[in-house]
Structure 1
Amino acid sequence: MTQQGVRWTADQVLALAPDAASRKAGSKLGTAGPWSQTGSSDEGAIWGLCKGSGSKPYQTIVDSGGDGGGTGPAYKCSCPSRKFPCKHALGLLLLWAGGDQQVPGGQAPPEWTAQWLAGRRQRATERRTARDGDAGSAPADPEAARRRAERRAQRITAGAAELEQRLTDLLRGGLAQAERAGYGLWEETAARMVDAQAPGLASRVRELGAVPGSGPGWPVRLLEECALLHLLVQGWLHRAGLPEELAATVRSRVGLPASAEGPPQRDDWLVLAQYDAADGHLTTRRIWLYGTATHRTALLLSYGAVGRAPALALPAGLTLDAAVSGYPGAGALRVELGEQFGTARPKDVRPPGTAVGDALAAYSEALTADPWLESWPVTLADVVPARDPDGGSWQLADADGKSALPLAPQTSPSGLWRLTAVSGGAPVTVFGECGHRGFRPLAAWTGAAGEVISLC
């Protein structure tokens, strides 16, 4: 049940926008002018009619609590947009964030809203029933499944052996040939890995193709990436002798699908950050959670086709009473969102911060378990954003000035200026991803329970 008076902030609403254009368009609709018959229920439903270019207004509904089945907030609008949430849903949420005068609370939904909500609840119940039934039944043909897995493993092994030979040929001929050959060399090799049903290997090979054109020092970077790829290939070829956690990590990095396993873990999960990354083939949404009781940091991944935002979106800074199940592998960061118990709401609990030195030690330990790790989530306490006195680049320095972490190149410029504004030269707590290229700030707050400010 939604607590009366608890509404999202404008920042939390805009963080759900699938892109900058939607954010801008939604902001224009966040006023009362185009809206009529707005309302919200105690169960987290929000609705309204928005005047558009046609004769009929758009019917817009937001289910801020989702259906309880691990989908997060959900949106329905009669407009033709294929974005989720569309600009009308964003505008309605911004209006709702403005308070009871804009969108009254405690209302009974109109028929067109109630009908959609009832359908969602019914489908969620059917999915849970089917999932529970599947969990209690054995596979239809376990022997056939085993044979399919063996055939795929054989194809991956053949592809890995071919990739190892190509890396050997590259090093024998010298790295200069990689610059002359251009991207075509790597695209052909990546296609071979796709044929071998090893999408993880294909993705890493494609990344190699961009290194020769990445500027001064590219031979060193190319050699480093080739070494990591060689290590992954060797890990696959010798996976039978690896510890189970490391073997699971290798399987995941190669691209074999895995399922969440183990008993669900229920907690109040604070949504720390959410951002999207696109690689030309897929849009991946990364959502970082913090268990306020378990003190566990977890990662939700959601995917969307090229040009479309992933369906799952959670408001940063709010907590969600939900159960999650972990995926196998070293570090065990990734989880799957399961049943939700109510809607997202504020809670004055934040992850404890650590010093820069301790954060680097945690990242180092994580690399030991997973050498292909790009970054590790850390919360830095009492740090100040400042320019490096030598190079002029930005860094986060301990309040005593003894240690500092450079900011990663992919740091959002707008997020950096927001961070400096929040800090004002004083120490703040910053959550982000620590990697080999520096620290990427994703959220910040002041004090032990300050408002979570998105920096994505």
Structure 2
Amino acid sequence: MTEQGVRWTAEQVLALAPDAASRKAGSELGAAGPWSEAGSSDEGTVWGVCKGSGSRPYQTVVDLADTAGPAYKCSCPSRKFPCKHALGLLLLWAGEDGTVPRGQAPEWAEQWIRGRRQRTREKPPATGSDSARTGTADPEAARRRAQRRAERITAGATELEQRLADLLRGGLATAEHAGYDMWEETAARMVDAQAPGLAARVRELGAIPASGPGWPVRLVEECALLHLLDQGWLRRERLPDGLAATVRSRVGLPGSPGGPPVRDRWLVLAQYDTSDSRLTTRRIWLHGADCGRTVLLLSYGAAGRAPELVLPVGLALEAEVSSYPGAGQLRVALGEQFAPAAPTGTRPPGMTTPEALARYVQALRDDPWLDSFPVTLGRVIPTPVGDSWQLADADGATALPLTPSAGARPGLWRLVALSGGVPVTVFGECGHRGFTPLTAWPEGTGEAVPLC
């Protein structure tokens, strides 16, 4: 990054923060006041000494040149990565006001960088699964385990079909009076059947009767999709290979990336986290500059902890990705990276709102259980419509409504301010509930602005 003379923006630095508290604390340390001996090198190292509440200042160093993402070292006792001192140091460096000059790293920083890069060179490359690397794989035992799990899922899907039939036979009013308990018990049965995908969809049914007017229609729609997934699993041998792989993925069977890796310069379009009581899931959307594909990286962390993989919006990395199986599936695994991620002015090509809807409809043919599909809208203007918002094409002929959740996010007002009534380019997820904007670019030239 520093070899190209390009520094990160403040938004890209703050995207590294593990939580909102770290983001706030890091922002407060992004000024020169508490820092001394700050510097940076052409090799992608930033260092500095930060005065804290104790008698000894904290020594902080960041390695930006690692292809796996930034690495941090700080003498403070924080267990968060990056800590507030690392965030503050990077914000200071991103300011480009000469506060962090080029120079020779002090011994304490140089020693850590040298040791870390040596360990990285000596680390053997990962090839295949753990069992394949250790040579303990037993194909016959794996086949028997897979067969036993498939039998459990089949039993669970059969039971779920019966419960859906009982619900429709008894009338939807029973779902309104039963509350969550009925669905939680059914979901637990799907967990016992080792079908977490079915369990997750069953739990979503429990919230629909309390979702407001029109809930019976929404409940029937979701029950129909769940019935379709059940039938897809029970008749998976008759399905085309791609659709059968999609069904296995939707039911909850793990898959492995396969096929030839695709090397490209991948633009980071968006990054956001979702959490439940057990897991934090990070979604990172990438766009290939040459291949034109938009793909999804998933990274996971234990509940309350941010996933390790961090790729701030607006960066680009030259790397290989491998696709997961399934018709229309966009998920990929990140393979070899050939250079550190660096800021770029590249943006994906935009399309009209009718073209975005057509893309979503086309994707539904391959994956009927798809909630949304990634698209980039070109030359759209955020426009209020009653109590909601929409993105209208610049000619005013057509528009896409925003999802209700998008209308309640602070990112909406960031988008409105960025537009100021003139067209912008917006990347987001288009689905049956509307469009969720995730990143925007101003007309002409300008940096990507995260909206989530």
After TM superposition, the score normalised by the length of structure 2 is: 0.94
Q: CA deviation at 1:145?
A: 0.9
Q: Does the CA-based 8 Å contact 1:350-1:449 persist in structure 2?
A: no
SS at match of 2:404: coil
Q: Where do residues 224-373 of structure 1 align in structure 2 (5 Å cutoff)? A: 224-373=221-370
Partner of 1:20: 20
Partner of 1:409: 404
SS at match of 2:292: coil
- Which 5+ residue runs of structure 2 have no aligned equivalent? none
Partner of 1:6: 6
Structure 2: which amino acid aligns with 1:402? A
> Which has the higher mean CA deviation after the structures are superposed, 30-39 or 391-400?
30-39
Partner of 2:35: 35
Compare relative contact order (CA 8 Å, sep 6+) and give the higher one, 1 or 2: 1
Partner of 2:421: 425
1:400 to 372, 395, 412: 395
Q: Where do residues 31-180 of structure 1 align in structure 2 (5 Å cutoff)? A: 31-66=31-66, 68=67, 71-99=68-96, 101-105=98-102, 107-108=104-105, 110-115=107-112, 118-119=115-116, 121-123=118-120, 125-128=122-125, 140-180=137-177
Partner of 1:443: 439
**In structure 2, distance between residues paired with 1:193 and 1:73:** 40
**In structure 1, distance between residues paired with 2:263 and 2:376:** 22
**In structure 2, distance between residues paired with 1:58 and 1:141:** 50
Q: Does the CA-based 8 Å contact 1:4-1:105 persist in structure 2?
A: no
Report Cα offsets for 1:35-85 as digits up to 9, x if no partner: 23323232322222322233333333322243x3xx422333333333332
- Which 5+ residue runs of structure 1 have no aligned equivalent? none
Q: Does the CA-based 8 Å contact 1:445-1:452 persist in structure 2?
A: yes
Q: CA deviation at 1:351?
A: 1.0
Structure 1: which amino acid aligns with 2:198? L
Instruction: Quickly say closer, same or farther: Cα 1:152–1:132, change in 2 above 3 A.
Output: closer
Q: Does the CA-based 8 Å contact 2:246-2:329 persist in structure 1?
A: no
Instruction: Quickly say closer, same or farther: Cα 1:119–1:442, change in 2 above 3 A.
Output: same
Q: CA deviation at 1:365?
A: 0.5
Structure 2: which amino acid aligns with 1:454? P
**In structure 1, distance between residues paired with 2:114 and 2:360:** 44
Q: CA deviation at 1:120?
A: 5.4
Instruction: Quickly say closer, same or farther: Cα 1:9–1:332, change in 2 above 3 A.
Output: same
2:185 to 185, 188, 194: 188
Q: CA deviation at 1:138?
A: 7.0
**In structure 1, distance between residues paired with 2:79 and 2:167:** 45
Q: Does the CA-based 8 Å contact 1:349-1:448 persist in structure 2?
A: no
Structure 2: which amino acid aligns with 1:254? V
**In structure 2, distance between residues paired with 1:324 and 1:110:** 37
Structure 2: which amino acid aligns with 1:397? A
- Figure out how many residues of one structure are paired with residues of the other and give that number: 451
Q: CA deviation at 1:292?
A: 1.0
Report Cα offsets for 1:131-175 as digits up to 9, x if no partner: 599878976211111111111111111111111111111111111
Q: Does the CA-based 8 Å contact 2:93-2:100 persist in structure 1?
A: yes
Q: CA deviation at 1:311?
A: 1.2
Structure 2: which amino acid aligns with 1:398? D
Report Cα offsets for 1:315-349 as digits up to 9, x if no partner: 21111112111111122311111222222223332
Report Cα offsets for 1:182-212 as digits up to 9, x if no partner: 1111111111111111111111111111111
**In structure 1, distance between residues paired with 2:156 and 2:247:** 15
Instruction: Quickly say closer, same or farther: Cα 1:116–1:164, change in 2 above 3 A.
Output: farther
Instruction: Quickly say closer, same or farther: Cα 1:127–1:343, change in 2 above 3 A.
Output: same
**In structure 1, distance between residues paired with 2:279 and 2:157:** 23
SS at match of 1:3: helix
**In structure 2, distance between residues paired with 1:448 and 1:335:** 31
Instruction: Quickly say closer, same or farther: Cα 1:247–1:175, change in 2 above 3 A.
Output: same
> Which has the higher mean CA deviation after the structures are superposed, 182-191 or 139-148?
139-148
Partner of 1:381: 378
SS at match of 2:403: coil
Structure 1: which amino acid aligns with 2:6? V
Task: Give the aligned CA root-mean-square deviation in angstroms.
Answer: 2.2
Structure 1: which amino acid aligns with 2:20? A
Instruction: Quickly say closer, same or farther: Cα 1:240–1:117, change in 2 above 3 A.
Output: farther
